[in-house]
Amino acid sequence: MSEKKQYGLLCDYKYFSGNHAAEIATKEELGLGPDQWGIKEVQVGPYKIGEGTDGEDWDWIYLPVPTELFSRAWADGGDGSHGDRPLAVQVEESGSLQYGPIEELCKKLPELGHKAVLFLL
């Protein structure tokens, strides 16, 4: 019997724009109420780290944090009732989320070559 694969969520957060689509998508997909989340965005900044108005002078980051409710649905690849990937990964507007077996995502992480985070679900 083969060992169950572990799945992860990769976020290319150089481009993740904080558009809330992933939040609403997971609520719809998992049937969550107003106080529960499948993915919740967190915001860091904006604050200045330089003197001017170039991008390099500022820090302003959004990260989509997958919750326990999300892990329960997707940590082992899902049970097929919601398709083969989380709705959030499809609809997120900046196209910055990837979902898959953790070994595959580990290979993709360095290929991005910039700010990224891999969540083990």
Partner 1 sequence: MAYDKQWRTELPDGTVITRSNTWSPPGSHPVGYGVKVITKNGELIRIEGDDDNPITTGRVNAMNLAMREYTYHPDRIIYPMKRDPKDRGLDKWERITWEEAIDIACNKILEMKEKYGAESIVVFGGTGREACIYYYALAFSAIGTPNCCYTQSGWSCYGPRCSVTDYILGAGYPEMDYAGYFEDRFDHDEYVLPKWIVLWGKEPLPSNGDGLFGHVVIDMMKRGSRVMSIDPRMTWLGCCDGNKTLQLRPQTDTALALGLLNVMIEEDIYDHDFVENWCYGFDELAERAAEYPVEKVADITWVPAEKIREAARLLATEKPVTWAWGLAFDQNKNGVQLGMAFLALTAFTGSIDSPGGITLGPPSALLGKWRMEQRGALSDELWAKRIGAAEWPGLSTGMATTQPDETLDTLESGQPYAIKMGWFNSSNFLTPTCSAQPKRWHDGLVKLEYNVIQDLFMTPTAMAVGDLFLPMSTWAEHDGIVITHYGRNCIFMGPMNKAVTVGECYSDIEVCIAIGNRLNPDWWPWVDENGKPDAEAFFDYQLQELGFTFNDLRERGFYQPGYTYKKHEKGLLRFDGEPGFNTVTGLVELQSTLYEVWGEDSLPYYEEPNYSQISRPQDAEKYPFMATSGARKYSSFHSEHRQVPSLRAIDPWPVVEINPEDAKAKGIATGDWVEVENMFGAGRFQALLTPTILKGIVHCTHGWWFPEQAGEEPNLYGVWKSNFNSLVPHKNIGKLGFGAPYKGVMVNIKRVDGLDG
Residues that bind partner 1 (CB under 8 A): 14-15, 17-21, 23-25, 27-29, 34, 45-48, 52-56, 58-60, 62, 83, 87, 90-95
Read off φ and ψ for residue 15, nearest 5 degrees: -110, -5
> Cα separation of 108 and 101, whole Å?
11
**Exposed / middle / buried, residue 88 (Cβ in 10 Å: 0-12, 13-18, 19+):** buried
The CA R_g of the chain, rounded to the nearest whole Å, is 16
Task: Give the residue with the Cβ less far from partner 1, 21 or 75.
Answer: 21
Could you tell me the smallest distance in angstroms from the CB atom of residue 24 to partner 1? 4
Q: Which two tokens stand for residue 82?
A: 């919601």
Could you tell me the smallest distance in angstroms from the CB atom of residue 94 to partner 1? 5
Q: Taking a C-beta distance cutoff of 8 angstroms, is the pair 87, 66 a contact? A: no
Task: Give the residue with the Cβ less far from partner 1, 8 or 38.
Answer: 38
Task: Give the residue with the Cβ less far from partner 1, 66 or 86.
Answer: 86
Task: Give the residue with the Cβ less far from partner 1, 5 or 48.
Answer: 48
Could you tell me the smallest distance in angstroms from the CB atom of residue 11 to partner 1? 14
Could you tell me the smallest distance in angstroms from the CB atom of residue 68 to partner 1? 19
Q: Taking a C-beta distance cutoff of 8 angstroms, is the pair 86, 74 a contact? A: yes
